[in-house]
Copies of this chain bind each other. A is one copy, B any other.
Amino acid sequence: MARVVESDTVPGGSDVQQLSLDSIRESLIRQEDTIVFSLIERAKFPLNSPAFEDSSSLTEFFVREIETIQAKVGRYENPEENPFFLDTIPHSVFPTHKYPQVLHPKASSVNINKRLWDVYFKELLPLFVKPGDDGNYASTAASDLACLHALSRRIHYGKFVAEIKFRDSPHDYEPAIRSKDTEALMKLLTFEKVEEMVKKRVEKKAETFGQEVKCVSGGDESEKKKYKVDPYLVSRIYGEWLIPLTKDVEVEYLLRRLD
C-alpha cells in the first residue's frame, strides 16, 4: 500500500518534509486494521487477570523490559511512538534514523499512556475477552503489548492531527490556546460526522477480519455469523475511548503549540 499522498508525505516515512491531512487520514485508516487485528489476537486468551492486576505484575515487568530493548533499537526516535514506562529513554545502540521534525518540540511531553494503561486493563479488556484464567500469561502479555502499542500509536497520532489542523487555520486556534480554553479547542477539533463514519468503518472491519473464513465461499450465508470480537464493541471502543483520548491528546498538544 503506497503511503505517499501527492507530493506530500507521511510522518514516519524517510523522505517526509510536510504533513498533509490526506496522509494523516490514510495512516489512521490503516491503523484501524492494526487495532482490529490486535484485539482479535488478544481475544484468543481469557482475561488472565493475575498477569496484570498487581502493581508489580508480570505484564508490567514485561512491558518495561521490552520498552528498554525497543529503545535500544531506536523505536522512540520515531515521533509516532510513545513509551508507557520509560522516564528517560536509553540511547539506541544502533545508528538511528533521522525522523523529520514536523511536530512542535514540546510534543514529546504529551503522553497519556498511563491513562491508557488503566483504561485498557480496567475497562476495555474485560469487554472483549472471555473471563477466566488459562495460565498462559507470557503469550497473553505479548498480546496485550501489541494492543497497547496499536492503541497508543492511534491516540498519540492526535499530535499530528492537531498540528495539521493548526497549520491549516492558526487564527482559529490561537485565541483559544492563549486563553487555555480547553472547551473551545475541543469544539474546534470535533467533527461528529467524521466520528460516526470511523465508528461504522471499524465495526465493518471487525466483521470482516473477525469472521470464520471457510474454504468454499458462499452457500452458508444463512448461517449465523460468529465473530472473534463483537463488531459493535469495537465501534464502542472507538466511540467511547479511542476517539475521546485522541482528542485529549490533540488539546494537550495545542495547549503547548505556542510555547
A interface, CB within 8 angstroms of B: 1, 3, 12-14, 30, 33-34, 37, 40-41, 43-44, 58, 61-62, 65-66, 69-70, 72-75, 77-78, 81, 93-94, 97-99, 133-139, 141-142, 146, 197, 200-201, 204-205, 208-209, 211, 213-215, 217, 226, 228
For A63, the closest partner residue in chain B by CB is B69
Residues of B within 8 A of A94 (CB): 58, 61, 137
Residues of B within 8 A of A214 (CB): 201, 204
Partner of A213, one of B13, B75, B205: B205
Given contacts A12-B134, A37-B40, A204-B217, 19 further A-B contacts (CB under 8 A): A1-B226, A12-B136, A12-B139, A13-B134, A65-B72, A66-B69, A70-B138, A73-B141, A74-B138, A81-B139, A94-B137, A97-B135, A197-B215, A201-B213, A201-B214, A204-B214, A208-B208, A208-B211, A208-B213
For A64, the closest partner residue in chain B by CB is B69
Residues of B within 8 A of A200 (CB): 215
Chain B proximity of A213: nearest CB distance (Å)? 5
For A71, the closest partner residue in chain B by CB is B138
A73 touches B213 (CB 8 A): no
Known: A34-B41, A58-B94, A211-B208. A228 touches B1 (CB 8 A): yes
For A145, the closest partner residue in chain B by CB is B142
For A58, the closest partner residue in chain B by CB is B94
Please report the C-alpha to C-alpha distance between residue A41 and residue B33 in the assembled complex, in whole angstroms. Answer: 9
